[in-house]
Structure 1
Amino acid sequence: MIVVTGATGGLGSAVVANLLERVPADRIGVSVRDVAGARHLADRGVRVRQGSYEDPAALRDSFAGAEQVLLVSGNDPAADLVVLHRNAIEAAVAAGAQRILYTSQQGAVRGNPYGPSEVHMATEAALAESGVAWTALRNGAYGTLDQVLGPWQRTGEIVRPEDGPAPYTDRADVAEAIAVILAGDRSFDGPIDLTAPTALTFDEIAKIASDLTGRTIERTVLNDEQWVADQIRLGVPEQTARFLLTWYEAARAGYFAEADPLLARLLGREPNSVPARLAAHLAT
């Protein structure tokens, strides 16, 4: 059995939907906080059990019988995510899982200033110490392009701090690739990168957007402190704004500059590119 955590969230639900196209429903289990929210999966024959990273006993029950467990990383900034992830790893080991897969982040290496990197590195270390086969799925940035670029269509500008190249990746592609790995015969040990095939800067994206729209889309670089101040004026807490700033610091230091062809190989096609995603957005 394959057990997926966070199966009612954005990434986890997409992984389960892709798994249902590849394996019988009775080979899939989900561990969710709210069982009622996964009723649609139970109706399709998926095993639904309550579990959360804060409750190791419930996790062990929700992982029972699993050959593989997919741990979708937590995202609560107020929680001790390393402790919660360790709870999940220990529960999967106790339940007898043969492999644990974890949704990590591209560039999860020492020195990366992006805040979540420390959590992902510590979790990967816990996986390595678990005694169970493991895979760290180091996903490329997969936020929506509106989140990444801001209101560029309305303003004609991409206004962000200094950046660096990053392979902006479609979450749907990442979910499909994870399902391919879970349902397939090939195993991957340790960390692997799942990214779009091309790393782009905001300057390059502005040029792509200009070509697609037929108007000039400017790239405006904001001073870091100016950007933080602007975020605060928009209602973002300063601590959150400074946390978000670490992503730009990491990008311009080159931590996201390497694109990897593995995602395309797993999908058997080219992943959705930034130009294609922008064009599809403009067409809606």
Structure 2
Amino acid sequence: MIAITGASGQLGRLVIRYLLERIPADQVVALVRNPGKAQDLVELGVTLRRADYNEPETFTDALKGVDKLLLISSNEAGVRTTQHRAVIESAKAAGVTLLAYTSVLHADISALGLAVDHRDTEEALKASGVPHVLLRNGWYSENYLGSVPTALEHGVLLGSAANGQISSAPRADYAEAAAVVLTSEGQGGKIYELAGDNSYTLSDLASMISQNTEKSVIYQDLPQSEFEAVLSSIGLPAGLAALLADSDAAAAQGALYDDSGMLSALIERPTTPVLDSLMEIVQ
């Protein structure tokens, strides 16, 4: 039995889709906070169980009979390390034989502010003794492509990444890699640095937008504090604005770059270029 936390989220649903291409549905357990909002997963034939990061006791029953667990990182910055530790403890008590964790690219050395929680979780995994594999996911292409409509409206793509190279891939590529790892043997102790095969700067992305639409778009680089202020001014919560600005600033230092090719090796095909993902938006 393979269980996925946060199974009703964007990444979780994709992981389930790829798992069902590799194993029978009755071997998949979808762990969700609100089962009432995930009935479509039941229709796929998978087992649905309630498990809430903020209610650690729910994992006691949720992990019964589970052999492998994919712990998809919580999106609640500031408390997620505590949430993750509780899941790890439950997995240990349940006798889970492999825990796969979605960390962040180069978590051990990353300049990303959000890497701190991931490093703490990786340390908790080591201390637990639970056999585990680290899926250090790079940036999702969707993180930047979400700004395309605004860039088209105003003719400018804003950021704070300077000329930093970004090795992104769409969520689906990372999800497929997770499904491959979860259905393969001998994964305990492995660390995968996962990123797109092709890298680009935000200036490159602005050029791609211009070349494939009828609108001229330029990239305007801002100091981190100014970019954060702009993000807040358009209605983003303060914490999210700070996180995105910090991530851009770290990208300028190479935090979102990787050329290991581990992701394409796992999925046995080239990763999806950001241009392909862009074309799905602008066509």
Distance 1:5 1:278, change over 3 A: same
Q: 2:113 maps to which residue?
A: 115
Q: Superposition RMSD on alpha carbons, in Å?
A: 2.0
Kindly state the Cα deviation for residue 237 of structure 1 after the two structures are TM-superposed: 4.4
Q: Which secondary structure does the structure 2 equivalent of 1:61 belong to?
A: helix
Alpha-carbon distance between aligned partners in 2 of 1:4 and 1:107, rounded to the nearest angstrom: 23
Alpha-carbon distance between aligned partners in 1 of 2:149 and 2:188, rounded to the nearest angstrom: 36
Q: 1:137 maps to which residue?
A: 135
Alpha-carbon distance between aligned partners in 1 of 2:69 and 2:115, rounded to the nearest angstrom: 22
Q: 1:74 maps to which residue?
A: 74
Deviations 1:15-73 (A, max 9, x none): 01111121011111122111222333334432221111223332021111111100011
- Is 1:96–2:95 an aligned residue pair? yes
Q: Taking structure 2 as the reference length, what is the TM-score of the superposition?
A: 0.91
Check conservation: 2:140, 2:170, Cα contact below 8 A: yes
Q: 2:104 maps to which residue?
A: 105
Check conservation: 1:54, 1:87, Cα contact below 8 A: no
Distance 1:104 1:148, change over 3 A: farther
Distance 1:236 1:203, change over 3 A: same
Distance 1:50 1:161, change over 3 A: same
Distance 1:222 1:265, change over 3 A: same
Kindly state the Cα deviation for residue 142 of structure 1 after the two structures are TM-superposed: 1.0
Q: 2:5 maps to which residue?
A: 5
Kindly state the Cα deviation for residue 238 of structure 1 after the two structures are TM-superposed: 4.2
Identity of aligned residues (%): 31
Alpha-carbon distance between aligned partners in 2 of 1:118 and 1:159, rounded to the nearest angstrom: 26
Distance 1:280 1:238, change over 3 A: closer
Check conservation: 1:150, 1:158, Cα contact below 8 A: no
Higher mean C-alpha displacement, 232-241 vs 125-134: 232-241
Deviations 1:169-223 (A, max 9, x none): 1001111111121123452524212211122111222233333336643111123
Matched to 1:100, the amino acid is: L
Structure 1 unmatched runs, 5+: none
Q: Which secondary structure does the structure 2 equivalent of 1:257 belong to?
A: coil
Matched to 2:82, the amino acid is: V
Q: Which secondary structure does the structure 1 equivalent of 2:102 belong to?
A: strand
Higher mean C-alpha displacement, 216-225 vs 65-74: 216-225
1:1-284 matches, cutoff 5 A? 1-77=1-77, 79-110=78-109, 112-144=110-142, 145-147=144-146, 151-163=150-162, 164-185=164-185, 187=187, 189-213=189-213, 216-283=216-283
Matched to 2:125, the amino acid is: L
Kindly state the Cα deviation for residue 239 of structure 1 after the two structures are TM-superposed: 4.5
Check conservation: 1:18, 1:176, Cα contact below 8 A: yes
Check conservation: 2:228, 2:244, Cα contact below 8 A: no
Q: Which secondary structure does the structure 2 equivalent of 1:104 belong to?
A: strand
Distance 1:62 1:117, change over 3 A: same
Q: Taking structure 1 as the reference length, what is the TM-score of the superposition?
A: 0.91
Matched to 1:267, the amino acid is: I
Matched to 2:197, the amino acid is: P
Structure 2 unmatched runs, 5+: none
Matched to 1:125, the amino acid is: E
Alpha-carbon distance between aligned partners in 2 of 1:117 and 1:133, rounded to the nearest angstrom: 22
